Amino acid sequence: MDLKQLGYFLAIAEHGGFAAAARARYVSQSALSRQMQLLEQDVGARLFERSSRGVLLTGAGQILRDRAGHLFESVAQLKRDVVEEAEMPTGGVVLGLTPSMRVMLAGSLIENFVRRYPRVTLRVIEGLSHSMADATVRGLCDVAVFVRDDALSKALHTVTLIEEPFVLVGPARAGLQMTRPVDIEFAVSHPLLISRSNRVNSGIEKEAARRGLSLNILMDLQALHLVIDLVCRGVGYTMVPYSAASRELEAGYVSVAPIIGHQTGWVVAWPSERDVSVAGHCMVAAVQTEFARLQAAARLVS
């Protein structure tokens, strides 16, 4: 039994015969008859009796007509509910962001999201990229934005948002320029304020070691806002994705230069082994829209 067969059955009951129902449903009378034979076989009862007045419903047919009518009303309501939920979702969404994405993305993203979806309860958590990837796999985040490499071999769906340069950031007086890339030897020779648990930083440290170089680490810090603040104060340099220092660069507090051969790919991710709510998918779309806006406004560099 399927909805198409039930729809044909209700058409026959409504029009009082196979010929009229076939015309109303734009199918041949023979095809309609065949579908009703299959339906009768499926329910195990005769549904129609032919008489001089046309086709009449049996007792079983009358029961099926009444129940099927209610079923189609429920299906129609289900469609309306799904459309309403898609347009105005409810429930909760937990969004995970890295510190640099919180600086770049969070304010405008959250403002626009809560205005568009006022019935969704939003919670935001922050952590290093690998922590946000793990939190999403474990179900602590519904949607998260983090470095693409941290999604490798994890049960996650991902969409790449941007590939941006990894940059050396120094005080404004250092005179670093985006048009003048620097190599690792130059970058690691400066007193650095970095998080060694950061995947890209650890990759740079490994590459430096292969070249017989060592990082001149002044402090190992995980608090990005503190790192950037100390660089602005001239305490040292750091190595971060461009987006992490773009505001301070625009304000003239720092100078930056891309590190040759090093980029960061950002993704928006959600679990692949659990269902994601309509509100969660709306958040994924909102993140993509916000990234596109930031690129159009030249706030992000690829």
Q: What is the pLDDT of residue 135?
A: 95
Q: What is the pLDDT of residue 71?
A: 84
Percentage of residues of the chain with pLDDT beyond 70: 92
Q: What is the pLDDT of residue 198?
A: 65
- Residues paired with residue 57 on neighbouring β-strands, in sequence order: 48
For residue 4, is pLDDT > 70?
A: yes
* pLDDT tens-digit map of 5-15: 888 888 888 88
Q: What is the pLDDT of residue 196?
A: 67
- Domains of the chain and any CATH numbers: 3-87 (1.10.10.10), 91-296 (3.40.190.290)
What DSSP line would sit under 180-238, residue for residue?
S-B-HHHHHTS-EEE-TTSHHHHHHHHHHHHTT----EEEE---HHHHHHHHHTTS-BE
Q: What is the pLDDT of residue 235?
A: 96
Backbone phi and psi for residue 107, each to the nearest 5 degrees, phi listed first: -55, -60
Q: Reduced to 3 states, what is the DSSP secondary structure of residue 175? A: coil
Contacts of 171 (CB under 8 A, 6+ apart): 231, 232, 233, 234, 253, 254, 255
For the segment 190-210, the average pLDDT, to the nearest whole number, is 79
Q: What is the pLDDT of residue 300?
A: 66
Q: What is the pLDDT of residue 302?
A: 63
* pLDDT tens-digit map of 242-279: 888 888 998 999 999 999 988 888 999 999 988 888 88
Backbone phi and psi for residue 57, each to the nearest 5 degrees, phi listed first: -80, 140
- CA-CA-CA-CA torsion sign (231, 235, 239, 240): negative
Comparing 104 with 259, the larger pLDDT belongs to 259
Structure-block tokens of residue 79: 């469609």
For the segment 52-68, the average pLDDT, to the nearest whole number, is 85
Structure-block tokens of residue 123: 């919670």
* pLDDT tens-digit map of 208-237: 888 888 888 899 888 888 999 999 999 999
Residue pair 47/40 in contact (Cβ under 8 Å)? The answer is: yes
For residue 119, is pLDDT > 70?
A: yes
Q: What is the pLDDT of residue 228?
A: 92
For the segment 135-155, the average pLDDT, to the nearest whole number, is 92
For the segment 30-45, the average pLDDT, to the nearest whole number, is 89
- SS3 breakdown of the chain: % helix, strand, coil, rounded to 5? 50, 25, 25
For residue 159, is pLDDT > 90?
A: yes
**Helices 3-15 and 18-25, axial angle in degrees (round to 10):** 120
**Helices 18-25 and 29-43, axial angle in degrees (round to 10):** 110
Q: Reduced to 3 states, what is the DSSP secondary structure of residue 270? A: strand
Predicted model pTM? 0.64
